[in-house]
Structure 1
Amino acid sequence: MTFFERYSFGVCTYLGERFNISISKIRLFFIYSSFLAVGFPFVFYFFAGIVLDIRNYVKRVHTRVTDL
Structure 2
Amino acid sequence: MINNLRYFFEQRGFRVSSRLADRLGMRVASVRLFFIYLSFFTLGLAFALYLTLAFLAKLKDLIYAKRTSVFDL
TM-score band by shorter chain is 0.3 to 0.5
TM-score (norm 2): 0.44
Q: Which is greater in Rg? A: 2
Which structure has the higher relative contact order (CA within 8 Å, separation 6+)? 1
TM superposition score normalised by structure 1: 0.46
